[in-house]
Amino acid sequence: MEFKCPRARLHEALTVLGNIVPSRSTKPILQNIHIKGTSDNRIMLIATNFDIGVKYEIIVDSLDNPCDILLPCSRFSNIVRDAWGEDITIKVNDNKASIITEKAKFEIMGESAEDFPEIKEIDEDKSIDVLAIEMAKSISKTIFATAKEEERYSLAGVNLSFKENVLDIVTTDTFRIAKSCCLLRKNIEEEKQAIVLDKGMHELLKLLNGEEILKIQITDTHLYAKTSRATMISRLIDGKFPQYDNVIPQNTDIKIKIKKDLFIQGLRQAANLSNEETNAVNISAHDSVLELKSESLTGGESFIEIEAEIIGGEVNATFNYIYLLEVLKVLEGENVILQLKDKESPAKIEEKNYVYVVSPVCPKTNNY
């Protein structure tokens, strides 16, 4: 087999797949990239770690005698990344590959692809269509709130709920909830729910750039996702996701409207002298001013004032500044409205098709 293509195009594909290939594995075959020549000047690059698998198709300038080969991901990716020139040519002879660039040639040994795990195709008759740009926004606005502790395994993923023409994407680590909604391209007859691996959703997000439509299929054990150039499969988490709708506060009489960029800057300043164990920053709102206060374990203190519009009365509450900064970074508007009831109740931030709930530090009940 011999094919030629732009080096940047091949590098982009290998960058995506490289995040899936395990650096160490009890099955060394998984440390390879499966390169498969197909018809119509197309090359399929395949990687899997059993939990997640991706097939990534690229169009090449020329392709002769298509075949299959496994090449070590790390070496192959590094050569393509560091090579000079705009184009790259790959020649495969038996289990050896020659990588030829403008002023260099590399030869690496591969192996037969016969025993490489197969990644099944999506069943498009059973798939659900959603706009890729909306899916990407929803993932970006929720994925940071997944649980990181292993003992909360069912929360260490992203919950997908399909009902009629809406997909709800929800994450929680018990201290906060992030929920975003996408409209489906058409109504579905049967409700579906699945908890997808956190890493699986991270990899899916990378595949959505520049895409128009994403096709999704949920089975008992896996999520299948397909774009115009890639197919991804991710194992599902077997567990029960908590009921979240009844935790989202409805009666938040106090509203603090503030410019998002000023809020971010203020929190970052306060973070410099916050308690390293709790990341606590106190928020006090009164007389058109939002005050941010923090105190370090060594006795240092910070005090920042920001102009704000206060509606519904005064309030004083303390939050983990990281939980606020992470949501502020993904909001789209110039202004943000922080909604509160009192110092012991969760606060809420809303945008179109999005809601974020965060518990204060040391409330009476600090989890969901």
pLDDT, tens digit, for every residue of 56-105? 999 999 999 999 999 999 999 999 999 999 999 999 999 999 999 988 99
Q: Who's near 190: CB < 8 A, 6+ residues apart?
A: none
Rounded mean pLDDT, 233-253: 91
Please report, for the chain, the start and end positions of each structural domain, with discontinuous segments joined by +.
Answer: 2-109, 124-245, 248-358
Q: Report how far residue 274's alpha carbon sits from residue 330's, in angstroms, rounded to the nearest whole number.
A: 23
What is residue 152's predicted lDDT score, i.e. its pLDDT? Answer: 64
Which amino acid, residue 291? E
What is residue 149's predicted lDDT score, i.e. its pLDDT? Answer: 66
Nearest in space to 55 (alpha carbons), one of 43, 73, 66, 67:
43
pTM for the model: 0.92
What is residue 365's predicted lDDT score, i.e. its pLDDT? Answer: 42
Side-chain-side CA neighbours of residue 302 (13 Å): 21
pLDDT surpasses 50 at 367 = no
According to CATH, the topology of domain 2-109 is DNA Polymerase III; Chain A, domain 2 (3.10.150)
Integer-rounded Cα radius of gyration of the chain: 25
Q: Report how far residue 286's alpha carbon sits from residue 310's, in angstroms, rounded to the nearest whole number.
A: 7
**Chain segment 105-143, per-residue pLDDT in tens:** 999 999 999 999 999 999 999 999 999 999 999 999 999
Nearest in space to 260 (alpha carbons), one of 272, 271, 268, 251:
268
Looking at the structure, give the CATH architecture of the domain made up of residues 124-245. Roll (3.10)
What is residue 366's predicted lDDT score, i.e. its pLDDT? Answer: 41
**Chain segment 142-196, per-residue pLDDT in tens:** 999 999 865 567 788 999 999 999 999 999 999 999 999 999 999 998 999 999 9
What is residue 311's predicted lDDT score, i.e. its pLDDT? Answer: 95
CATH of span 248-358: 3.10.150.10
Do the domains 124-245 and 248-358 sit in the same CATH topology, yes or no? yes
Helix (H) or strand (E) holding 81: helix 73-82
What is residue 172's predicted lDDT score, i.e. its pLDDT? Answer: 95
pLDDT above 90 coverage of the chain, percent: 87
